Structure 1
Amino acid sequence: MAIYPSVLIHFVVFVFGLCIGSFLNVCIFRIPRAKSIVRPPSACPVCGAPIRFHNNIPLLSYALLKGRCRDCGVSIPLRYPALELATGLTATAIFATFGASLSAIVYFTFLSTLWVVSLIDIDHRIIPDVISLPGIPLFFLASLAVPSMTVKDALLGILFGGGSLYIVAWSYSALKKTDGMGGGDIKLLAMIGALIGWKGVLFTLFVGSALGTLVGVGLMITGGKTMKLAVPFAPFLSAGAAIYVFFGPRLINWYLNVIPLSI
């Protein structure tokens, strides 16, 4: 049976995404530890044995090794293949939405960066400046390749993204006499705004805050935690930005059309 060219292309894009996901795992592990993401080659974090090329094939190697290091037998976290799969699906979804274009490359790079930031924030409660600060000018320049973006939108996205969270953080600190939001979230939203503009920042803040509230309340109910439970905000900002990339303009237009009907 012949394989349709479009199916083959999507499969190639998916495999490419898997390989990028494997690299993202390296970034997530090494960046918070201030280690190079290039050298040395991948190795088991427990026994230090180098990972052979044929044991480093995304998804497949994890299945063949039954989720364990070939040398010391320690269990490999399921999150590693899960991120590879998620990145493969992300690449496929981006390609299906934007086709073979510069916009697709930009958005895939953007979402891959958000995967790294989110998981580092979950693990260490930090958003590395080495990602967010260079990300602001880089994604500002990358926004020039996105037809729906303008220089004005990108600049306003940076200013509004960083400024809005800065005002929230400053107000909370002034009222409560304690820090309520890290500077990493401020720089992250500025980076997000650099690519998706001020409208994307508004959307990201609304969706991210809603998701964060739902998850926070759920954790308090199930875990008996207090209102002072610390929940990393980067994953929710990243989720809001990702939703905007795929559906934002359509959701905004739908919402604006519904408002007159409800008044």
Structure 2
Amino acid sequence: MTQVDLVPLLVVGAVLVGVFGLLIGSFLNVVVYRVPNGLSVVNPPSACPGCGADIKPYDNVPVLSWLVLGGRCRACREPISVRYPLVELAGGVAFIGVAGWWTSVTGLTETVSGIVASGLGLVAFLYLAAVSLALGLIDLDLHRLPDRIVLPAYVVLTVLLGASALLDGRPEALGRAVIGAAVLAVFYLILATVKPGAMGLGDVKLAGVLGLALAWLGWPQLIVGAFGAFLTGGLFAVSLLVTGRARRGSGIPFGPWMLLGAWIGAVAGEPVATVYLSSLGLA
């Protein structure tokens, strides 16, 4: 198969992944509202927060339904927040971005085990992307990182990434992931202990999840991802202080910056580490 022949397949694949991401984004809107309130994400069906009318399937098409309805409930015409289609759109964009990044990292393989291993890795990081969106929004809203989302991520990522590593003949990646999870979680636990209030236990638990995924990719990804959280979070805090939108001691959720830093580490950790070491004459 020539390179030209692959183009239509890649386009179709991107569209399918994007549509799946839109659907996941729609589900994340439910997760972000219900999980912090201890509600089921399955029942009852989605309803208008204004009048309580059930949302029909044809009014629940990601992004499109909101546009067709003019951002209002069909039954009572109450406004529906623009946040809903934006989260759906973010899901689609994130999934396409993750799939594109993963394809560039792993390349194409012809062996069955290699294809399955790559597929499992992709599913793991798509799952992490969905979790990142949900946790980032909840932490921004409520300064919380719910255990109902964080703790299952340990199991899901360990199973998916562990199976991928073993099928790909890289058992050391699984061992590295376990060590990375422990190291980053302990590091955050020390920070939370030394300076109470600066970090919460939710941050500590999330650190383990991110350490697992980043270390599975490699040590440079883990180091850059961990540092990236403090760099991006610090810059944001300084900008708030300079613009007068926050004061010293103001509570700023750190979860979103941990997640952003982790994705910076995952995508750019290796080249960033190479450039840094080269500047020191060590690479």
**TM over 0.5, shorter chain:** yes
2:281 is paired with a residue whose SS is helix
Match of 2:137 among 101, 104, 119: 119
Q: Return the alpha-carbon distance in structure 1 between the equivalents of residues 247 and 279 of structure 2.
A: 37
Is 1:132 aligned with 2:146?
no
Of the structure 1 ranges 208-217 and 71-80, higher mean CA displacement relative to structure 2 is found in 71-80
Of the structure 1 ranges 221-230 and 52-61, higher mean CA displacement relative to structure 2 is found in 221-230
Give 2:212's aligned residue. 194
Give 2:110's aligned residue. none
Q: Return the alpha-carbon distance in structure 1 between the equivalents of residues 244 and 52 of structure 2.
A: 36
Is 1:225 aligned with 2:243?
no
The one-letter code matched in structure 2 to 1:215 is F
The one-letter code matched in structure 2 to 1:189 is A
Superposition RMSD in Å: 2.0
The one-letter code matched in structure 2 to 1:79 is R
Give 1:88's aligned residue. 92
Match of 2:232 among 193, 211, 214: 211
**Following TM superposition, by how much is the alpha carbon of 1:162 offset from its aligned partner in structure 2, in angstroms?**
0.9
In structure 2, the CA distance between the partners of 1:170 and 1:82, relative to structure 1 (3 Å rule), is same
Question: How do residues 1-263 of structure 1 correspond to structure 2 at under 5 angstroms?
Answer: 4-99=8-103, 101-144=119-162, 145-146=164-165, 150-173=173-196, 179-197=197-215, 199=219, 200-260=221-281
For structure 1, the 5+ residue unaligned runs are 174-178
| Paired residue total | 255
Say whether the 8 Å CA contact 1:136–1:158 is kept in structure 2.
no
The one-letter code matched in structure 1 to 2:198 is G
Q: Return the alpha-carbon distance in structure 2 between the equivalents of residues 259 and 67 of structure 1.
A: 54
The one-letter code matched in structure 1 to 2:78 is V
1:227 is paired with a residue whose SS is coil
Q: Return the alpha-carbon distance in structure 1 between the equivalents of residues 44 and 84 of structure 2.
A: 19
In structure 2, the CA distance between the partners of 1:63 and 1:183, relative to structure 1 (3 Å rule), is same
Say whether the 8 Å CA contact 1:169–1:180 is kept in structure 2.
yes
**Following TM superposition, by how much is the alpha carbon of 1:224 offset from its aligned partner in structure 2, in angstroms?**
4.8
**Following TM superposition, by how much is the alpha carbon of 1:153 offset from its aligned partner in structure 2, in angstroms?**
0.9
Say whether the 8 Å CA contact 1:44–1:51 is kept in structure 2.
yes
Higher relative CO (CA 8 A, sep ≥ 6), structure 1 or 2? 1
The one-letter code matched in structure 2 to 1:112 is A
Q: Return the alpha-carbon distance in structure 1 between the equivalents of residues 78 and 279 of structure 2.
A: 54
For structure 2, the 5+ residue unaligned runs are 1-6, 104-117
The one-letter code matched in structure 2 to 1:243 is I
The one-letter code matched in structure 1 to 2:249 is K
Q: Return the alpha-carbon distance in structure 2 between the equivalents of residues 55 and 130 of structure 1.
A: 28
In structure 2, the CA distance between the partners of 1:5 and 1:249, relative to structure 1 (3 Å rule), is same
Q: Return the alpha-carbon distance in structure 2 between the equivalents of residues 22 and 4 of structure 1.
A: 27
CA deviations 1:43-64 (Å, max 9, x no partner) are 1122211111111101101111
1:223 is paired with a residue whose SS is coil
Say whether the 8 Å CA contact 2:95–2:129 is kept in structure 1.
no
TM-score by length of 2: 0.84
Say whether the 8 Å CA contact 2:228–2:265 is kept in structure 1.
no
TM-score by length of 1: 0.90
CA deviations 1:129-179 (Å, max 9, x no partner) are 111122223322222225576122111112111100110111113xxxxx3
